[in-house]
Amino acid sequence: MNALTPYAAFFMRLAVGGVFLLHGLSKYHRGIAGVAGFFASVGIPFATVGAFIVIVVETIGAACVILGLFTRPWAAAMMFEMVVAMLVQLHGGHNIELEALLFAGALTLVALGDGPLSVAVKLKHTG
């Protein structure tokens, strides 16, 4: 282990959380109805509920991951979302490189947790 190993979670949180946040803000601006319309068009059941959940995971969840708050549960939700996204992409005959990479990054965050450079660690030390 080298001196930078403890900070791997920080860089992974920035990368994975940043990508999810960019996609989430785009969905937020399209609105639940717009996202639900797309979900319904590709055969996702309960499209409105799914759109709401995805927007929450990709905005609030991504912000929490970037900050290092509740990283493991949010990353687990991101993993589940990417499994669904990969299945939809494969069913449509599309490639899944981005979804697979984000799945792997989220899995890594489930394993690593918040890491030493996180708001959660700062809150633990002040509480």
**Per-residue pLDDT tens for 39-97?**
999 999 999 999 999 999 999 999 999 999 999 999 999 999 999 999 999 999 999 99
Looking up tokens 């899995």 gives 107
Query: With 90 as the cut, is the pLDDT of residue 127 above it?
Result: no
The span from the CA of 46 to the CA of 49, in Å, is 6
The span from the CA of 117 to the CA of 11, in Å, is 10
Note the pLDDT of residue 120: 87
Q: How far from 1 is each of 7, 8, 12, 100, CA to CA, in Å?
A: 12, 11, 17, 27
Query: With 90 as the cut, is the pLDDT of residue 2 above it?
Result: no
Mean pLDDT of 106-126: 89
Exposed, middle or buried by CB within 10 Å (0-12, 13-18, 19+), for 15?
Answer: middle
Query: With 80 as the cut, is the pLDDT of residue 126 above it?
Result: no
The span from the CA of 47 to the CA of 126, in Å, is 42
pLDDT tier at 6 (50, 70, 90 boundaries)? confident
Q: Provide the sign of the torsion angle of the four alpha carbons 50, 62, 112, 118, taken in this order.
A: negative
Task: Round the average pLDDT of the chain to a whole number and report it.
Answer: 95
